[in-house]
Structure 1
């Protein structure tokens, strides 16, 4: 039996990230770690892994317990290795020589093709690099596992594969997962910790159930605080009345009682804690009006890779005002290539088979937010691109979660979550009426994802989206298109596609 004990653990980075966390993780516990961007998830994982000390409290591991920590980024030196060598590199020299079979076993657990094992890690997709990081840790046979954003860069097939692996291979050890993928958390966790600067909340429930319990607890706190403050106000009013009577009558007893009531009111007020509010900034959209009923038409569009190799054809598809079409398909089938063709057509380039209404105004964001200039600051980008005055730009950026110091930092130095929020702010200022969004929830925290969903629905935004985020897809889509066997066809709901993907993983 292995265990990890957190005793009054807190962390400060300028402001408090979290404080006074007490919990014990034992074999079979799978903890989902939830916080906004910059809310302390990685800080806590690094502390548990022994790579950093908490600001307060202590973390105690059971005797001999070894921890495997899967970080978000691949070390630069590992990127220059073959995939097989990158996993072998995690082992001591003697084990690498005598127990090389462990490397292949670890790669087999993720169904790694033989030819991929011989390729340089830098040549592989971000998804395979992510799985290589997990295999590097797993080959060391840890007694506990920490995963920091493990689904980043994974396509749906690999996400489902990772879910199955956690529930099978890692089911008997303590596992901590920091993630923004709500469906993934539901599938892999049985406990949830919401990190907060004040009182963090722990529930013995997977994410969605825990989120509901959190909402109920927050509502109860708000009601209790309202009642307590009303009581404090009543006590102060009574104290004032007694004080006036005591002064007029010269009664020391009434003056003493008035003082006691004031003290009780002050104690109630001092006991009140600020109610938690997510502090990562708002995500807002705009939706310019158009009288056009059909925004775009795809008439048997041929989608191919840049070297000309065909991927699929679309058939005849009309995109109506109010449509939010989600394009489904396995990785490499051409979803992002279709989005790029649509973006080119909407900027005036002649793309065979694509017709766009003249009143359509595009809001396009690719997975990498490549429209953002890395060498400019957020403030320079907003003022120059959108001709916004200095003070308004500062206000817009602050509202999106950018403190003054981050507004003056080069965009290339921002976190991925911050870059995504900046890209979404740019979309809002564009005031589009036709959105092309390729993986828009990448790197956005759960509160931000829910804000984005709410904005899309409230604005009745139109457009075409690509996403592996099942919760996001199910929340916003009105139509679904599936790329399969060289064709793009409409389907009623994504469940059949998801089921097929899961069966492929289990096969």
Structure 2
């Protein structure tokens, strides 16, 4: 049974986001949406929900269809509400008094602790806010569940819970997921829609396999385009030769033949379609400074503690050598960011038990991109710190996806993706030989994540990294340190940790 059908759907907001989009959703469908930042994923979800009117085409919904939408951000008017009340108000007003029991059932299903249910949403962590948004979408018992970046702010334990919840509690519900988390898309979807300005593509495959199929389709289209253009050029050359012969001989037949060849060339060129070229959201390039030191960081049983002095774990004797990309593995709150901050401090001064080679130049980026806070604008972030000259500064910012119109605006006006690319540009200009990256893929779309992975590997970067992005960790890590109890130990790889964390163990 078709629940939602889209025919020739298109949206233009200043520039076209997508057009001529036709697809349908049936009961139990699991569809992943993939596109770069700002390319229309959230807009398409709103079109499916009926809260945004498309520019062209139509969306047809089954009679009486219930659509639940888990948005990216908490509505401003819900931030002050207790979590339970915020979920209750997602029910129609006429149902709130008689069906308030549904709220606790949903919160139980989502394993929301009792002590959080009466706290204001604005006082909760990003992860629990994300869970509250899902609860608001689920409490109406939807036939179709729309999820916009559902894994943002979730640790692996909650991501694993969400994967299990979708496979059990929400098993029969059609789900559309817009996400930049490649591993999550692979785990929960069976179809993938690559949203494009023209000629969007849909495959009956989860993300990674669909991405490979998309690349094959694009390559085949490009080969066909090049072949068609070669044929058209050859026809025009033949027409030119026949025209000269026809003029010299006075043959009307050759003149007709010349016209036919040109018309065939015209038809070929009109029908030929070049392969899709994605508009860049900004390049990510890194630099790897040189250092004669082999051992860049040495830890001699460093104590990692909370701000009030409570011991989290001890490091034992470990080191980071030139060329090592060490990934820290551990649950939220286990002390990963605390250790990162200690290494950062050790570059600036003394930290007991932690030594850093004097030749180290660090490239530091924290979860919230706090290294940008000292600057008012993107222009200031480049020109006040680096001697690059005005013309090159403008070119560098534009290459990072920050056009001239945005270079002088306050940093708060930038999107998360633009800030992340600005932070990567600043790292490149620093020319570090030791990268300290805490959740560097936050805010980056899939293209940005893959570009960052490629740069880290191609530049043979050395560093210490923290990430919940399984695909990123698998792609860049060469060594792995795991927090086990109160000890930091080196492990062979991340897979055992991933399995345990996703299972909630």
Fold shared by both chains (TM-score > 0.5): yes
Tell me the residue number matched to 1:429: 429
Q: Which runs of 5+ in 1 are unaligned?
A: none
**8 Å Cα contact 1:2-1:173 kept in structure 2:** no
Q: Deviations 1:69-89 (Å, cap 9, x if unpaired)?
A: 111111122221222222122
- For residues 301-450 of structure 1, the aligned pairs below 5 Å read 301-346=302-347, 348-373=348-373, 376-450=376-450
Superposition deviation, residue 95 in structure 1: 3.1
- Whole-angstrom distance in 1 between the partners of 2:424 and 2:128: 27
The alignment partner of 1:404 has SS state of: coil
Give the match's secondary structure for 1:412: helix
Equivalent residue number for residue 48 of structure 2: 48
Cα pair distance change 1:123/1:421, threshold 3 Å: same
Specify the alignment match of 1:480 in structure 2: 480
1:379: how far off?
2.2
Q: Distance in 2 between matches of 1:270 and 1:11?
A: 25
CA RMSD in angstroms comes to 1.5
Match of 2:285 in 1: 284
Deviation at 1:375, TM superposition (A): 6.5
Compute the displacement of 1:17 (Å): 1.5
CA distance in 2, matches of 1:384, 1:103: 52
After TM superposition, the structure 1 stretch with the greater mean CA deviation from structure 2, 227-236 or 161-170, is 161-170
- CA distance in structure 1 between the aligned counterparts of 2:349 and 2:84, rounded to whole angstroms: 44
State the distance in 1 between where 2:282 and 2:19 align.
22
How many angstroms does 1:376 deviate by?
A: 2.2
Describe the SS at the equivalent of 2:371.
coil
Unaligned 5+ runs, structure 2 = none
SS at match of 2:177: strand
Q: Hey, what does 2:169 align to over in structure 1? A: 169
Q: Partner residue of 2:61?
A: 61
CA contact (8 A) 1:2 1:143 kept: no
Aligned-partner SS, 1:146: strand
Q: How does 1:235-246 map to 2 (within 5 A)?
A: 235-246=235-246
TM-score by length of 1: 0.97
Residue 229 of structure 1 deviates from its aligned partner by: 0.8
TM-score (norm 2): 0.97
Map 1:75-474; keep pairs closer than 5 Å: 75-278=75-278, 279-346=280-347, 348-373=348-373, 376-474=376-474
Q: Aligned pairs, how many?
A: 504
> Closer, same or farther in 2 for the Cα pair 1:374/1:151, shift >3 Å?
farther
Higher mean C-alpha displacement, 136-145 vs 183-192: 136-145
TM-aligned CA deviation for residue 94 of structure 1: 4.6
- Aligned mates of 1:261, 1:252 — CA distance in 2: 14
Alpha-carbon distance between aligned partners in 1 of 2:47 and 2:79, rounded to the nearest angstrom: 25
Give per-residue Cα distances to partners, 1:228-271, cap 9 Å, x unaligned. Answer: 11101100100110111111112222122112211211221122
**SS at the partner of 1:80?**
coil
* Distance in 2, Cα, partners of 1:374 & 1:229: 53
Cα separation, 1, equivalents of 2:83 and 2:310: 27
Query: 1:117 & 1:304 partners in 2: Cα distance?
Result: 30
Give, in whole Å, the separation in 1 of the partners of 2:222 and 2:39: 22
What's the counterpart of residue 74 of structure 2?
74
Q: Following superposition of structure 1 onto structure 2, how do residues 28-47 of structure 1 map, counting pairs within 5 Å? A: 28-47=28-47
How far apart are the structure 1 equivalents of 2:93 and 2:312? 45
The answer to whether the 8 Å contact 1:2/1:65 transfers is no
Contact 1:397 1:407 in 2 (8 A): yes
**How far apart in 2 are the matches of 1:408 and 1:193?**
36
